[in-house]
């Protein structure tokens, strides 16, 4: 059904070229297909993501990842999908969760996104202190950072994806000193 819907949306040639590894054609024709039906574009992008990368999502916490894609709304999902389709097989398409928010980022991972860049913040968008603790019933005082990671895991598992948290180099160094 998915393949049929991709072809019905006029994306059959893109699918074939992409699967054949003909990236030049895919990239050269982007203007002819980038405005096709968003759901079909997303389905094509997600199919490629699943085939090339699988269900693991690398989550970059704290560090700003320059190549991450930022945005809002449907245009953002389209941009993620286009990035996946035009990317080399297995390349990382990084969703900027800082701008999109975790909710929208979760959806974007279903449109071809493979990695997530996030800050750990409170509800007001302020950064969480590394030593901040919160009392959790039955668990005592738990680091807020840990609770946020659990929330990210929950949201990603709702998208049937498994997070791997990536600690940025500068943070690793800071902890080592």
Partner 1 sequence: MPTLSDIEAKVSRGERLVAEDALFLFNHPDLLAVGQLANRVREAKHGDRTYFNKNMRVEVTNVCVASCLFCSFAKLEEGSPGAHTMKLEEAWRELETRMDDPPSEIHIVNGLHPGLPFSYYEELIKGFKRIKPDIHMKCFTAVEIHFFAQHYKMTYEEVFEKLKAAGLDSLPGGGAEIFHPEVRSRISDDKATGTEWLQVHRVAHRMGLRTNATMLFGHIETFEHRVDHMQRLRDLQDETKGFQAFIPLAFHPDGNGMKNLPAPTAIDDLRTIAVSRLFLDNFDHVKAYWVSSTPDVAQIALRFGADDLDGTIVHETIYAAAGSTSPQGLSYGQLVRLIREAGRIPVERDTLYNVVKEHPRAASPEAAVKVKDRKAHLHVIGGAS
Q: Which is nearer to partner 1, 92 or 133 (CB)?
A: 92
Binding test (CB under 8 A) with partner 1, winner from 14, 93, 120, 152: 93
* CA distances from residue 55 to 82, 109, 122, 145 in whole angstroms, order as listed: 19, 10, 27, 24
Pick from 145, 143, 163: nearest CA to 153:
163
Binding test (CB under 8 A) with partner 1, winner from 28, 75, 129, 167: 75
DSSP state string for 27-87 = HHTHHHHTTS-HHHHHHHHHHHHHHHT-SEEEEEESS--TT-B---HHHHHHHHHHHHHHS
- Smallest separation (angstroms) from partner 1 to the CB of 171: 19
Q: Which is nearer to partner 1, 13 or 37 (CB)?
A: 37
- Smallest separation (angstroms) from partner 1 to the CB of 59: 15
What does the binding site for partner 1 look like in residue numbers (CB under 8 A)? 1-2, 5, 23, 27, 30, 34-35, 38-40, 42-43, 46, 52, 67-69, 71-75, 77-79, 82-94, 101, 103-104, 106-107, 110-111, 123, 137, 151, 154-155, 158-160
């Amino acid at each position: 059904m998915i393949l049929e819907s991709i072809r019905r949306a006029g994306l059959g040639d893109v699918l074939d070229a992409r699967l054949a590894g003909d990236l030049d054609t895919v990239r050269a024709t982007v203007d002819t297909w980038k405005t096709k039906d968003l759901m079909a574009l997303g389905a094509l992008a997600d199919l490629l993501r699943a085939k090339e990368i699988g269900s693991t999502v690398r989550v970059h916490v704290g560090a700003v990842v320059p190549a991450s894609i930022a945005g809002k709304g449907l245009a953002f999902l389209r941009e993620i999908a286009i990035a996946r389709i035009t990317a080399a097989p297995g390349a990382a398409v990084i969703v900027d969760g800082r701008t999109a928010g975790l909710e929208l980022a979760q959806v974007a991972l279903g449109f071809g996104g493979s990695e997530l860049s996030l800050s750990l913040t409170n509800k007001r968008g302020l950064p969480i202190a590394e030593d901040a603790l919160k009392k959790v019933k039955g668990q005592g005082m738990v680091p807020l950072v840990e609770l946020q990671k659990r929330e990210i895991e929950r949201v990603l598992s709702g998208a049937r994806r498994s997070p791997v948290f990536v600690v940025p180099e500068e943070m690793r160094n800071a902890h080592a000193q």
